[in-house]
Chains A and B, each alone.
Chain A
Amino acid sequence: MAESMAGGKQSLVDTVLSQTEDQQLRTTNVENEELIELDEGNLLAINENKTDTKDFKKKGENILLSLTRDATQALFNSLWKIPVEQKDGAYLITLPEQKTWMPREKPVPKKKAPTKWEEYAKSKGILNKKKSRMVWDDQSQQYKPRWGYNRANDDTKDWVIEVPDNADPFEDQFEKRKTAKKERVAKNELQRLRNVARTQKKKVPGIGLAPTEQPSKDHLSKALAVAHKSTASIGKFTDRLPKEKPSKFTGKKRKFEPSIGNLGNEKEKQLKVLDSVSKKVPTINVTKAANRMLRQDEEKRAQDKQSKKTPKKLKGRKASLGLGKPGRQGGGNKKTRGKRKR
């Protein structure tokens, strides 16, 4: 009986001992856990404490292992506090924001500079309209993409083109379309490059004179202006034609006031007009009045002269003409007449 008692005691001691050993093995507690700094966002644990260096040579690896184990355990203890979500059989946690910040790889991207059109559209309040991607194609009777492969209303696939009425019958209409497209692409590329240059604050040269099929009067005068300036001295010593008007194409742009905004200025202008109208005393343009007087005098004299000169036979015809427009008979050349009309 005594023996059995002893045996029982022995087993009890064993179990208790093994239990405590087990607990020690299994425990998730960490010594000085509060001294370990955690950054869960980076899965990082930092232990700033001085490490024991006495017997590092002997047990170096073990010290490193235990240090790392403790820190990792501390990190795990904190990670397991984060609410878990289950997805595809895996337990996921959302990491909090990182505490230690690393430098960026590349600088923060700058905002894209607006193009000239974008600037203009903004000033005028023009908004982009969203176009649908698919368009009805009449020929194939179905919806097709607006652009790209197999696009709707593709004019490059035409096998016959009607020659317009006023076009040269020997002109290749296919070639014409192709060149027109090429020119549009080139123009777009040019505008893109000018926008790039503008954002980089470089001086942007003008396009100069683009060739056209039907040069207008404006085009010709522009060509003249360009030709004038196309010398080493930028046209400083170029001879002018007699009575040549100063060119409109000096490179300076006309400036208009904005159509919206600055209400005060507009109000002032309108009031000025109203004021001038409502004033009873009319403003006299002295030069204009003087000129008119002079002209009338001139006309009168001319009429008198002619009436003296005209033979009696033609008198009747003269009178009828005189009634219509007396100014026509007056002196002065064509130029001045034109001016007066205005």
Chain B
Amino acid sequence: MQRIVKPKTQRGRRALEKKEPKIFENSKNALMFKGGNTSQTVTQILKDWHTLKKPNATLFSKKNATKPFEDQTSVEFFASKADSSLFMFGSHSKKRPHNIVIGRLFDGQVLDMVEFGVTNFTSLQDFKTLKAATGIKPCLVISGDFFEDSDDNRRIKNLLIDFFRGPTVEKVSLSGLEHVISITATNGKIYLRSYRILMKKSGSKVPRVELEAMGPAADLVLRRTRLASDDLFKRALKKSATAKPKKKKNISRDDLGNKLGRIHMKTQAFDKLQVRKVKGLKKRKAEQEVNGTENEMKKQKTEETAAT
């Protein structure tokens, strides 16, 4: 991006560079903030998910009397301040008690936004168990046919994956897989659970998975949604040409998954091809001699030229 006003300090310059669009993007940062009125439940949800998503999360402690579905400019403003593209907004009113809005932004604009009502909430502290380490990448389990019902539901699924999947990493430690977030949609509700993974011996290499509820747990009811138009979403999905791996030539795979390679060769000289030795194909003595004398003559010629 070309700035008209140059940053005055190197530190400022670095901070701005960090916010600039990149080819290989960093993990998305999530912003948790609350509206003018909040319930205990809603604040606790924001706090819990902040602790689980740390360090890729920012929690605003003060109230901000905004309504994302009425006016999304303030959401965009706060997100730009915290340089985050995911947000979780909590509010509480008579009409919409224990309200949570989960959304994401693209290019500083709200892309998708989904509103949930929270019931049956149990916080992280209420489960008296060991907790998973913070900052690790959680496993994510999504179940229920609800998420495949329509395009909108599929988009909601995509949003939830985006929000809960944690940092994008290349490598993962096998022993570090200790947290699983489960999102299940049945009976018109979305059950959000989080478990700690206990790896038990199974007699084989793969451990037996046992789960222990770790919290937070909540039952969500879908309220309002605002999803991006298809072409905007498509634009947001666009990958950089330089980020795409280069196509390897002459390598293909067939239907059975076998790897095939095409090799380009020079034309073969069939007269010099080594075939099975058969007596009948052997050169006769007379022929050999003729060839031999020719060769000698050639040799002499080359020697002469070399001498001159």
Contact = CB atoms under 8 A, between A and B. Distances in A.
Contacts of B22: 106, 109
B142 A47 contact: yes
Contact of B139 (A60, A61, A75): A75
A48 B148 contact: yes
A112 B21 CA distance: 12
A47 B180 CA distance: 14
B119 to A, nearest CB: 13
A65 interface: yes
A294 B4 CA distance: 65
B168 to A, nearest CB: 8
Nearest to B140: A44
Interface stretch (B65-73, B209-217, B288-296): B209-217
B236 A27 contact: no
A224 to B, nearest CB: 34
Interface in A65-115: 65, 67-69, 71-73, 75-77, 79-80, 84, 90-95, 100-109, 112-113
A322 to B, nearest CB: 73
Contacts of A103: 104, 106, 111, 162, 233, 236-237
Interface string A156-197: 000000000000000000000000000000000000110010
Nearest to B19: A106
Given A43-B140, A45-B140, A105 B182 contact: no
A44 B173 contact: no
B141 A53 contact: no
B172 interface: yes
A243 to B, nearest CB: 47
Interface centre among B104, B142, B210 (most CB of A within 10 A): B142
B261 interface: no
Contacts of A92: 171-174
Contact of A69 (B111, B177, B209): B209
A68 B210 CA distance: 10
A10 interface: no
B161 interface: yes
Contact of A76 (B25, B170, B206): B206
Given A72-B209, A94-B171, A95-B172, A46 B138 contact: no
B193 A46 contact: no
B201 A26 contact: yes
| Chain B contact residues: helix, strand, loop or mixed | mixed
Interface stretch (B42-50, B93-101, B183-191, B273-281): B183-191
Nearest to A113: B2
Contacts of A94: 170-171
B143 A102 contact: no
A71 B141 contact: yes
B81 interface: no
A109 B242 CA distance: 11
Contacts of A48: 143-145, 147-148
B207 interface: yes
Contacts of A50: 144-145
Interface in B241-269: none
B175 A90 contact: yes
A25 B197 CA distance: 15
Interface in A98-140: 100-109, 112-113
A192 B105 CA distance: 32
B165 interface: yes
A18 interface: no
A112 B208 CA distance: 52
A49 interface: yes
B141 A76 contact: no
B28 interface: yes
Given A42-B161, A43-B140, A72-B141, A26 B21 contact: no
A68 B137 CA distance: 17
A239 to B, nearest CB: 41
B209 A90 contact: no
B158 A102 contact: yes
B237 A80 contact: no
A44 B166 CA distance: 11
Contact of B143 (A42, A51, A196): A51
B202 interface: yes
A193 B4 contact: yes
A84 B174 contact: yes
Contacts of B193: 64-65, 68
B187 A199 contact: no
A291 interface: no
A141 to B, nearest CB: 31
Contacts of A51: 143-145, 184, 186
B134 to A, nearest CB: 16
A147 interface: no
Contacts of A28: 202, 204, 206-209
A26 B202 contact: yes
15 contacts: A26-B200, A27-B202, A47-B143, A51-B143, A64-B193, A67-B184, A68-B195, A71-B143, A95-B171, A101-B237, A103-B111, A104-B237, A106-B85, A107-B21, A112-B2
Interface of A: 23, 25-28, 42-51, 53, 56, 60-61, 64-65, 67-69, 71-73, 75-77, 79-80, 84, 90-95, 100-109, 112-113, 192-193, 196, 199-200
Interface of B: 1-2, 4, 6, 20-23, 25-26, 28, 85, 104-108, 111, 137-145, 147-148, 158, 161-162, 165, 169-177, 180, 182, 184, 186-187, 191, 193, 195, 197, 200-211, 213, 233, 235-240
Given A51-B143, A108-B23, A109-B22, 17 more contacts: A28-B204, A44-B161, A44-B165, A46-B142, A47-B143, A64-B191, A68-B143, A75-B139, A80-B206, A90-B173, A92-B173, A95-B170, A105-B85, A105-B105, A106-B20, A107-B107, A107-B236
